[in-house]
A and B are shown apart, each in its own frame.
Chain A
Amino acid sequence: MAEDIRAKLGRYKTAPFDSRFPNQNQTRNCWQNYLDFQRCQRAMAARGADVTPCQWYFRVYKSLCPTSWVTAWDEAREEGTFPGKI
C-alpha cells in the first residue's frame, strides 16, 4: 500500500477528476484537499504511522489552489485563527 502510493506520487501529473466537485467552481475541491492534508498529517502522526500517503493531498491542493490562499491559510493556522476543522 505504501509502495502503491509512492508509485502514484511518482507518476503524478495533475489533480484527477473528483466526482464530488464536477463543476467549474473548484474552490471547495481546493479547500477540501487542504483540509484533508492537515487532517491526514494529524491522524497519521497521532497513530505513529507513515505520513507519506498524505503527500497525495499536498500535491492535489498545490495543483488546484492559488498560492495566496495557501500562504494565507498557513499563516492562519500558525496564528490559531484557521476557520476549518482539522
Chain B
Amino acid sequence: MVLRTVVTHAKKHPALIPLFVIIGCGGVGASLYLMRLAMFNPDVSWDKKNNPEPWNKMAPNDQYKLFSINMDYSRLKKDRPDF
C-alpha cells in the first residue's frame, strides 16, 4: 500500500526518484543491521533461562564486530584456564 503511493508519487514527480531510492536503501539497511544485531550479537540474550551468557560461547578468535581494523583475529589463542 505504501509502495503503491510511492510509485504513483514518483510517476508524477520523477525527479524525486533518487530520493526515494536513497531513503529506501537507508531504511532497509538500518532494519537489516538491527536484525543482524538481534540475531547474532553475543551480548543479546533472548532466552535467559537456557542461554544466559551467550558471550561466553565465543571462540577466542571469533570476531565480534562487523568491521574490525588492525586486529588479526586469526592469531588469537585461548588464554583463560578451564574449570
- Name A residues whose Cβ lies closer than 8 Å to a Cβ of B: 5, 8, 16-17, 19-23, 28, 32, 36, 39-40, 43-44, 53-54, 56-57, 85
Using CB atoms, name the residue of chain A closest to B77. A16
**A57 CB contacts on chain B under 8 angstroms:** 80-81
Distance to closest chain A CB from B50 (angstroms) = 14
Q: Contact partner of B64 among A16, A20, A32, A39, CB < 8 A?
A: A20
Contacting pair A20 B42 (CB below 8 A): yes
Q: How many A-B residue pairs have CB under 8 A?
A: 47
Contacting pair B76 A53 (CB below 8 A): no
- B73: Cβ under 8 A from any A Cβ: yes
- Name B residues whose Cβ lies closer than 8 Å to a Cβ of A: 42-43, 52-53, 55-56, 58, 60-65, 68, 71, 73, 76, 79-83
Q: Contact partner of A43 among B53, B55, B83, CB < 8 A?
A: B83
- A19-B58, A22-B65, A22-B68 in contact; A44/B76 too (CB < 8 A)? no
